[in-house]
Each structure stands twice: as C-alpha cells, then as structure tokens.
Amino acid sequence: MSDTQPVDQILTVFREKGHRHYGENVSELEHALQTAEFAHQFGEPDAVVLSCLLHDYGHMLHDLGEDIAQQGVDAQHEELGARLLTELFPPEIVEPVRLHVAAKRYLCWKEPAYIEGLSTSSQQSLELQGGPMSDSEAAQFEALPHFKAAVQVRKYDDMGKVPGMKTASVESYRDLIQRFLKSPPTR
C-alpha cells in the first residue's frame, strides 16, 4: 500500500458518500468540514481538528439510510468509524471519534441545559444512545485519557450545522490526514 492510498480512500469516501444527510440541514461532508473549521478557528491542536473532520466517518460507511434515527435505529456510527480508523491513526485521533457520542451524553449530564441547545436530530439520537449519563457513567468517562478532546469534538460537532457556511475543501486536509497516519509496519 502506498503512503497516499489510505488518504485517497478517506477522501474518496467523503466525495462519494458525503452528500448524504442525517436529519440536519447540511450534508455529512458540509458537517465534517464545518466541525473541523470551527475547531481550527478556536485554535485547537491539529489532532482535535482531524478528529473533528473524521468524527462522523462511520455515518458514511453504513448503508442504513439517511433517516435512521427517525426509524428508531442507532447505527453506532462512532464505533464503526473508530473501528476502521484505528488501523490508520493513533488513539489521539481515533478515541475522540469513538467517544463523541458519549461526550454528548456526558454534556447532557454535566450541563442539563445543554440538551435544549441540541438540534432536533441530536435530541432524537440522544434517546437512542442512552440519554444523559448517570453519575457513575460520567465518572468513568472523565477517567478516560481522551475524554477532554472528545468533549471538544462534540462541542464543534454541535456547531457544525450551518447551511451555506463557507469552508475549506476536503482536499485541503490531505496533508493533515497524511501527517497523523500510523507508520506502516516494517517488514
């Protein structure tokens, strides 16, 4: 596998499947780009920016349809995306992707008014994902090494739903993706 092949595969998924919607007024591609853009604008480290770009990668990899939450289905996109990305990226990228749904549940526990600021689609999926965390779940979540990055990703995830917002292209993230790829094992 060439050094550019994994990057090309990721960018191809965004180009071919990013047009889909999941209950929001923006496409998956627009949402990913906006989430990464907000993280960049707020001065987050590059690892958080890349996690923001990739946080909903799993949505683009399943074929359950665009209105799954309305059908009462939790695609567990965070697990699907993380499972596939873990072969390519270190935990500092993958774990915030895996934990961004848990971060939503955590924020609903920590800041009860947070629920009211969620989009209708996010409120609907919250119920499918287990609702706000319990005290013990929140304590376990706070003990995870990447919980703070996951909370940041989640906050930008909530922001990245602006119809018509101008962002950089997905191609502009090629070098950032490449920089965080795991080195292939030596033979």
Q: Report the alpha-carbon distance of residue 89 to residue 86 in Å, rounded.
A: 5
Structure tokens belonging to residue 150? 């996951």
Residues in CB range of 176: below 8 A, 6 or more apart: 46, 49, 50, 53
Among 101, 112, 115, 109, which residue's Cα sits nearest to residue 139? Answer: 109
Chain centre distance of CA 111? 21
pLDDT of residue 127: 78
Kindly report the number of other CB atoms within 10 A of residue 128's CB atom: 16
- Residues 96, 41, 53, 47, Cα dihedral to 10°: -50
pLDDT of residue 186: 43
pLDDT of residue 39: 98
- Domains of the chain by range and CATH? 5-180 (1.10.3210.10)
Name the one residue in this structure whose structure tokens are 């499947």.
17
Name the one residue in this structure whose structure tokens are 């094992």.
185
Chain centre distance of CA 116? 21
This prediction's pTM: 0.87
Q: Report the alpha-carbon distance of residue 123 to residue 108 in Å, rounded.
A: 10
Task: Give me the tens of pLDDT residue by residue for the chain, a chain 187 residues long.
Answer: 455 699 998 999 899 988 877 667 889 999 999 999 999 999 999 999 999 999 988 877 755 444 554 544 445 566 677 888 999 999 999 999 999 889 999 999 999 899 988 887 788 778 778 889 999 999 999 999 999 999 999 999 999 999 999 999 999 999 999 999 987 644 4
Q: Report the alpha-carbon distance of residue 32 to residue 165 in Å, rounded.
A: 12
Q: Report the alpha-carbon distance of residue 178 to residue 93 in Å, rounded.
A: 12
* Residues 134 and 110 sit within 8 Å (Cβ to Cβ): no
With vertex at residue 21, the alpha carbon angle to CA 98 and CA 39, rounded to the nearest 5 degrees, is 50
